[in-house]
Each structure stands twice: as C-alpha cells, then as structure tokens.
Chain A
Amino acid sequence: MTQSEQESGASATSMTLEPLIVLDGVNKWFGDLHVLRDINLTVGKGEVVVVIGPSGSGKSTLCRAINRLETIDQGSITLDGRALPQEGKALAALRAEVGMVFQSFNLFSHKTILENVTLGPIKVRGRSRVEAEKRGRALLDRVGVAHQADKYPAQLSGGQQQRVAIARALAMEPKAMLFDEPTSALDPEMIKEVLDVMVDLAERGMTMIVVTHEMGFARTAGNRVVFMADGAIVEENTPAQFFTNPESDRAKDFLGKILKH
C-alpha cells in the first residue's frame, strides 16, 4: 500500500467526521530503535479505531504518545485542534480530556474503589465530593461494580479492577478514550465482562483508540482497523475489509497466525 493510498483510505472513513486526534509525521526512537516511523493518523469524533499488530510493533507506544506518557522526537500530535503541550498544567488539562486504560489497571492501591473514581473529578475538575460520589457510583453501577465501592483495589478480581479503571477514566468526561491492551492481563473468563463495557461505550459514541489482540472486538465495535508492524502503519481499513481481504503481506501473515486456531 502506497503512502497516497494510505491517506485516501484514512480520509475515506474520517472524511465525514470532524477530526479529533491527528498525528502528523510522528517519529520516535528508543536509542537506536526506531519505534514509531512516520505515523500519520487521523481519528474522527465518535470513531472507534482498533490498533493491532505483532508485539513490538509500536502500537502501545503510539497509544501512550497520544496523551504524552511517551514523548515524541518528530512530528506533531493535536487533540481537537490543539497541539499537545510540553509539560505542566496545560498538559495535565489535556490529559484530563483523554481517558486512558492500562493493561495492568493501575488503580490507586491506597484508595477505595469509589475514591479511585472520584479523585480526578474532585481534584482536577473541582467537583464537590457529594456530586463526584453520586456520579462515581452511577459509573460504577454502569460498569457493574457498584457493590464493591468501598473495597480496596487489591480485593477485586482483575476484570472488576479493569472495569473500575474504565469508570475512573469516564468520570473525567473525556473527549476520547485510549485503551492500551486492556484485556491482555486478564484471565480468559474475565475478558468478556471488560469487552462488554467497551462495546457499550462504543455504541454510546465515545471516540476510542483501542490497542488489542481481541479480533472479535475489532470486528464488532471497530470503525477502522490500523495494522502496525515495525513501528509503521502498514495498513488501514474497515474491519470487514481487513479481516476478509487484507492487502499487505505482513497483515496476511499476522492474521494467518492468529486466526488459525
């Protein structure tokens, strides 16, 4: 797939949508290792983009670069028309607009489940405790862990913790959500409960970038699949096209390996 085809493919899906996240010519190196190569990606409002690819392909780094948990060496990333600030308060404000869900949940281990969900709204958004707790409980109810509100994270199963992590991100009322392999650390029986929450989110129109190995989720909830290998975007397409008729050899090879079983 050539550069121009890639761009036209991307615009085909996001043309009708207002662009929310735009990556332009992004490059990043870890020492000699070129982990992101000339990444151009536009995600429109309400779009669900699923990033897949073999491990070490740079998909997690891409995801983390969008809220600047990783810095980039070249290119630009803009959110809703504004460039990512360097550091400090402006960056913090931007991060509040982008929810992030980690592979290892990263719930605040010294705070209760409810406190995990209310910390951001109270400290960052300046909401009152009563208001934040009311909304927090509603969100916990929505992800199905309302009855665990007063427990500590270590007392919950992995699937429950990850659902709390999603609720924690949603409590900030973000413009977009980033999922960095949200189900990779979960036991198989817990994966579905997390994916269900994510599908529900997608159906409600949340803009999402999801790095995952869950092909089922990509098919059902994704608007677009981005396939990465060796730090570069190799192929972008609708899920239907990508899974039935991948264009690049790398994608065919990758799909061949994971879909055989």
Chain B
Amino acid sequence: MQDVFNQFDLVLKAFWLTIQLFLLSGVCSLLLGVLLAGMRVGPVSVLRGAAAVYVTVIRNTPLLMIFIFVFVAAPRLDVNFDFLTKGVIALTIYTSAFVCEAIRSGINSVPLGQAEAARSIGLTFIGSMREVILPQAFRATMPPLASVLIALLKNTSVGAAFGLLEATARMRFFTNNNADDRMLIFLTFAAGYVVLVELLSFGASRLERKWRVAVR
C-alpha cells in the first residue's frame, strides 16, 4: 500500500487516461449514436436498414471482440492508429449502438404531432430533428443514456489488456508488485471508479432535473 501512495502520481495518471478514454469515446459515441438514431427513424430506407444492421451486429458482439478486431485484426490489414485512438475507436463502435437505441427510444417518446408540426413549418428532416425532436428526445433519453455512459466508463478497463495503461492496468502493476496488499490496492482503485461513476450519475440527474423544470 505504501507503494501506491509513494507513486500516487502514477495512479492519477492512469485515472486521467481512463477519463480521457471516457470523454473522447463518450463524445464520439454520442455523435455517432445520434447519427445512427437519425438514420433509424429517417425517411431513407437504405440508411434505416444500414443503421438497424449496425445496431444489431454491434449490440450482440462482446466488447472484447471489438477490441481484438481494432487492436489485433485491423493492424494486419494495415489499418493502424496510436493506442489512444484505437481505444476510442473500439469503445465508440460499441457504445454508439447503445446510444442509438437509447436515443431512438427517446425519439419514439416524442409525440408524432411534434414532428408533423416541425415539418409543416418547412423544417427539413435534419432541421426538425435538431430543433424539435432531439431536444425533447434527450430528456426522455437521459436516464437510459446515463446508464450507457456509466457502462462506457467501466468498459474503458477492457483497454488494460490492449496496451492502454489506464486505471485497471495500473492496478495490476501494483498488485503484481505488492502481493501482500492486493485487497487494499484493489479497493483503492475500485473507490476511484466509484467516485467517477457517482460524479457521472450526479451530473446526469442534475441535467434531468433542470430539463424537467424547463418543461414543467
């Protein structure tokens, strides 16, 4: 345990990588997820089908397999990036499918009349999505979206097995070097994750409350 406190900068650095992975893939997943959700509810049947296939395939694929694909298979096909980028790509591919479904359920909770009214004032499909449907859908989406993001935060730990020295990987260094203190080291790192997840849940519930006040 002494070892952990003596090298606490390494712990912080590792959690910072965890946070970077979370933030970058979180933003990318939201963007891609919104795009996919738009495709799924949109008027173009080819895009609808493509998005549906993507979501079905990715949601039914273990995250580990996607990591193996991005980190092991893709480099052999000469598709290679630096480690952080690969981590963000793998997490985004996976998470965006869940974001898509969360948002789609939110979109479906917005009454059809809202979309009709938006279109009837001349907004295009994208315009009515952006101005009318999505802002309302996000509200209904907040609770499921928060779960997806919490899962993402914890999923970053899969990167530990793929060259990413984030919190879980760093924990394994400490436990390997300090066989006598495994339990305490484990609890220390677990506490780090708990703090991050709690911050995330707190932020999500604040947003939810704020939005609920806005519409009453």
Contact = CB atoms under 8 A, between A and B. Distances in A.
A129 interface: no
A106 interface: yes
A99 interface: yes
B43 interface: yes
Could you tell me the dominant secondary structure of chain B's interface residues? helix
Interface in A66-108: 67, 69, 87-89, 92-100, 102, 104, 106-108
A172 B114 contact: no
Given A88-B124, A123-B123, A124-B123, A107 B43 contact: no
Interface residues of A, number: 34
A154 B215 CA distance: 8
A96 B124 contact: no
Contact of B120 (A100, A123, A125, A152): A100
A152 B119 CA distance: 20
Contacts of B131: 108, 119, 123
B160 interface: no
A92 B114 contact: no
A109 B136 contact: yes
Nearest to B120: A100
- The 6 A-B residue pairs whose C-beta atoms are closest, nearest first, are A96-B122, A120-B121, A106-B117, A100-B120, A106-B113, A124-B122
17 contacts: A69-B120, A92-B124, A92-B127, A97-B122, A98-B120, A99-B120, A100-B117, A106-B111, A106-B117, A107-B117, A108-B131, A119-B123, A119-B132, A125-B122, A154-B216, A155-B216, A169-B120
